[in-house]
Structure 1
Amino acid sequence: MKYYLCKFIPPRADFLATMTADERLWMTQHGSYLNELLEQGVVVAHGPVIDPDGSYGVSLYQIEEDQNIAAITSLDPIVKNGSGHYEHYAMLHLKARG
């Protein structure tokens, strides 16, 4: 298995306060996408980080050796629609409660 911390970087620092109607729809789809991956065991945890300098999202992934993290995050609806991108950070291991 491979493990990643992925940081979703929105298109602007005040994104949560200034989303357009389309961006709100894509963010709803983004949440659904991550929840589906959570149910499949691909995502271990995810959620927004409220930072005064600009909020962002964080997700922890556990994927098979033959999977590509960039390919998985590129399918996120918010990314597919051009409203932000992911940074990927490999982890040596991931230990979770439960």
Structure 2
Amino acid sequence: MAQWIYFLHPPREHFADTMTPQEESVFAEHFAHLQRLTEQGVVILAGPTLGPVNTGITVFEAPDETAARALMESDPAIARGVVTGELREMRVALLRR
């Protein structure tokens, strides 16, 4: 199974500290969505970067680019237009267990 990464690009600096109530609601759905995918064994890791630019990352497995793109676009934060997504294929070379 191929590994993929998608980046969630926020609409402004310090996004995590300045989310509106609507954005917070969408990010609660986003977190629950990723939690389900992690429990299903699809997501390898996910989380935000810290500092002024809070880019989110999700590393996951999918059989091909079409499936990977569909998974990325199903993320509520992307699907609802709160952030923009960027998909790239990657290879997990080292993973601490």
Instruction: Provide TM-score, normalisation by structure 2.
Output: 0.86
Q: How far apart, in 2, do the equivalents of 1:18 and 1:33 lie?
A: 22
Shift >4 Å, 4+ stretches: none
Query: Residue 70 of structure 2 corresponds to which residue in structure 1?
Result: 71
The CA distance in 2 between the partners of 1:67 and 1:96, in whole Å, is: 25
The answer to whether the 8 A contact 1:48-1:56 is kept is yes
Gap regions ≥5 residues in structure 1 = none
Q: Does 1:9 align with 2:14?
A: no
Instruction: Provide Cα deviations, 1:54-74, integer angstroms capped at 9, x if missing partner.
Output: 111111111124852111111
**In 2 relative to 1, CA 5–75 (structure 1 residues): closer, same or farther, beyond 3 Å?**
same
Compute the TM-score of the two structures, normalised by the length of structure 1: 0.85
Identity %: 29
C-alpha distance in structure 1 between counterparts of 2:56 and 2:16, whole Å: 11
**What is the root-mean-square deviation of aligned Cα atoms in Å?**
1.8
Aligned length: 97
Work out whether residues 3 and 62 of structure 1, in 8 Å CA contact, stay in contact via their aligned partners in 2.
yes
Give 3-state SS (helix, strand or coil) of 2:3's partner: strand
